[in-house]
Structure 1
Amino acid sequence: MPNSEIELAALVGSRICHDLISPIGAVNNGLELLSMAGAGSSSEMTLIGESVDSASARIRFFRVAFGAAENQVLGASETNGILQDYHYNTRWNVVWTPTESQQRTDIRMCFLALLCMETGMPYGGTITVKTSGGKWTLSGQADKLSIDPELWSVLATGQAAIKLRPSQVQFGLLPVIARDAGKQITSQILENEITLSF
């Protein structure tokens, strides 16, 4: 049995993502077959293909962010691929600077932190992820931020003074996972910059 409710929730997340990726892959294979048959040039087929790619990218990202981490590692190229696919044609540009493989638990926290930063940067911007000596720092620059102080205080305390919405679940999950890993989330918010560290 899982040791905590968080681990159980992570297993649920992994199961959902695992079960969804197969039918999405099947749709993509079907599109390729239709394309080979000469039906792949229409705008409708293009729209379906882009939607399938987007769904696949989201599931891969969410599987790392919300799924079970265990004792796995992810290579830099795989991590970059997930981030590039997930942020393709979005308002955010993410620069992943680590060049070596990293513990999946750390990448999981980074992905959750990215979701937090995107919430604070709803109009887009650039987020740079760095690590040194076991410490991770995410720095986001944007022309305009949208910060809810009560929501961001959850990262420091791990206690929600407000009822979190589904779109805000990362704010409740990140400090719990960080605490289990022996880390503390710190944040600094300036006029056009957000920094998260753990």
Structure 2
Amino acid sequence: MTAISLEPLDLAALLCSRVCHDVISPVGAIVNALEVLEEDDPSMRDFALDLIKKSARSASARLQFARLAFGAAGSAGAMIDLGDAGNVANGFLNDDKLSLDWEAPRALLPKNQVKLLLNLLILATHAVPRGGKLVSRATIEGEQGRFVITATGSHARIPNHVEDLIAGHSETGTIDAHAVQPLYTGMVARAAGMAISFAIEGDTVSITAQKAD
């Protein structure tokens, strides 16, 4: 494995691509529904309005999640409320394929720890590509969190190369838009002074993040 070399502008571009990818689908659905309304077909009006409402909620949830997971979320050294993060995560991740149980006290944590938790939740969804149940547990001691996320579902797996990418390595030393998520997660973990580990047992993948030794 080779250490990944990535210019700051390239990292920013890949993260922007990642966020846009999440938002394009619901925004595109809104555009399609508006076109249906323009046809002035009464039989399709309720369908189109329902699609607009669902897609607008989805786009809003995805943007709110991205703001915390990838955005600045305040000035340097800012603290983020875990309760707010839980509300955002539930809005983004609970759908027809996935369910999320968020188990965390209402507490303020340094922003990089909260950003790490949200990014780990995204990696957990990759562990159950056919959908399933996510459980996110957080324990807090002072201003230090410990996170354990489990992803349970059919054909659960530890995503390919995820541990190498988190460590900042790839086979070629380069990455594409699909690999930026675990790479960024590893960068946030190091900034937060935390270490990440993966385990799998049956149809359950566990991801643990705790203070690095």
Instruction: State the TM-score, normalizing by the size of structure 1.
Output: 0.72
**1:189 aligns to 2:195 (yes or no):** no
Using the TM superposition, give the Cα deviation of residue 111 of structure 1 relative to its aligned residue in structure 2, in angstroms: 1.1
Q: Taking structure 1 as reference, are residues 164 and 142 closer, same or farther at Cα in structure 2, changes over 3 Å only?
A: farther
**1:50 aligns to 2:54 (yes or no):** yes
Aligned residue in 2 for 1:170 = 181
Aligned residue in 2 for 1:107 = 114
Aligned residue in 2 for 1:36 = none
CA distance in 2, matches of 1:179, 1:126: 27
Using the TM superposition, give the Cα deviation of residue 154 of structure 1 relative to its aligned residue in structure 2, in angstroms: 2.2
Q: Secondary structure at the match of 2:170?
A: coil
Cα distance per residue 1:92-148 (max 9 Å; x no partner): 111111121232322211111111111111111111111224311112221322444
Structure ranking higher in helix proportion:
1
CA distance in 1, matches of 2:93, 2:99: 7
**1:153 aligns to 2:167 (yes or no):** no
CA-based RMSD: 3.1
Using the TM superposition, give the Cα deviation of residue 65 of structure 1 relative to its aligned residue in structure 2, in angstroms: 1.1
- For residue 126 of structure 1, the aligned residue among 121, 127, 133 is 133
Q: Secondary structure at the match of 2:150?
A: strand
CA distance in 2, matches of 1:90, 1:67: 27
**1:135 aligns to 2:146 (yes or no):** yes
CA distance in 2, matches of 1:89, 1:167: 22
| Matched letter for residue 54 of structure 2 | E
Q: Taking structure 1 as reference, are residues 47 and 112 closer, same or farther at Cα in structure 2, changes over 3 Å only?
A: same
- For residue 79 of structure 1, the aligned residue among 73, 81, 85 is 85
| Matched letter for residue 117 of structure 2 | C
**1:180 aligns to 2:191 (yes or no):** yes
Using the TM superposition, give the Cα deviation of residue 60 of structure 1 relative to its aligned residue in structure 2, in angstroms: 0.5
CA distance in 2, matches of 1:154, 1:191: 24
CA distance in 2, matches of 1:177, 1:120: 20
Specify every segment of 5 or more residues in structure 1 that has no aligned partner in the other structure, as ranges. Answer: 32-38
Counterpart contact for 2:162–2:182, Cα < 8 Å: yes
What is the aligned-residue identity percentage? 21
Q: Secondary structure at the match of 1:71?
A: coil
Q: Taking structure 1 as reference, are residues 160 and 137 closer, same or farther at Cα in structure 2, changes over 3 Å only?
A: same
Does 1 or 2 have the higher relative contact order (CA < 8 Å, sep 6+)? 2
| Matched letter for residue 149 of structure 2 | L
Counterpart contact for 1:131–1:137, Cα < 8 Å: yes
Counterpart contact for 1:96–1:129, Cα < 8 Å: yes
CA distance in 2, matches of 1:123, 1:102: 33
Using the TM superposition, give the Cα deviation of residue 173 of structure 1 relative to its aligned residue in structure 2, in angstroms: 0.6
Specify every segment of 5 or more residues in structure 2 that has no aligned partner in the other structure, as ranges. Answer: 1-6, 35-41
Structure ranking higher in strand proportion:
2
